[in-house]
Amino acid sequence: MKFIGVVIIVASSLMMGIYMSNSIKKKINLCRALVDTANYILPEIKLKQTSPCEILASERLKSLDFVGQDMLLVEQKAKTPLNDEENETIGHFFYSLGKFDVQNQIKQIEFFKEYMSSAVRKYEEEYKSKSKIYVSIGFSFGTVIALVLI
């Protein structure tokens, strides 16, 4: 019976470490999706001059559930797991769609792509440096609690 309890405690704390590690991975995937979105929007604006409403209604942006038509009307922070500065930049980017001439819009999209690419690199570095630590700490914490309770 004690063995099962020890296994449950260690497994649950290990899962907490894995959860923390996966939260960084989600940020990386979200930033990559935003870079892909900017890559999709660029030719739409540059070549086709598609309206922002049509762009936001496209199937390619359905995976970004925080992006909606309301972001074109009111400048607001995006509701994502990223930090506040990145959420403000995302909100400003979508709000600015269609507000500038084509050349300035292209510059805005290029800036956003570079900004999100740097965020990808930042979160990848964080993942490399902290993911193993989170898992190790989770396992160690569970082991310590199990030993104290025995």
Which pLDDT tens digit goes with each residue over 116-148? Answer: 999 999 999 999 998 888 888 888 888 888 888
DSSP state for residue 75 in the 8-state scheme: -
Residue 86 is predicted with a pLDDT of 95
* pLDDT averaged over every residue in the chain: 89
The CB density around residue 106, as the number of other CB atoms within 10 Å, is: 15
> Residue 31: what residue type?
C
pLDDT tops 80 at residue 150: no
pLDDT tops 80 at residue 104: yes
The tens digit of pLDDT for each residue in 26-36 reads 999 999 999 99
Helices (H), 1-150: 2-43, 52-57, 70-73, 84-96, 102-149
**pLDDT band, very low/low/confident/very high, at 51 (cuts 50, 70, 90):** confident
Mean pLDDT value across residues 29-53: 91
pLDDT tops 80 at residue 83: yes
pLDDT tops 90 at residue 56: no
* Higher per-residue confidence, 1 vs 48: 48
Percent of the chain with pLDDT over 70: 100
What are φ and ψ of residue 145, in 5° steps?
Answer: -65, -45
Q: How far apart are CA 56 and CA 66, in angstroms?
A: 11
pTM: 0.85
pLDDT tops 90 at residue 7: no
59 alpha carbon, distance to own chain's centre: 19
B/e letters for 34-53, b = 16+ CB within 10 Å, e = fewer, are bbbbbeebbebbeeeebebe
> Residue 93: what residue type?
F
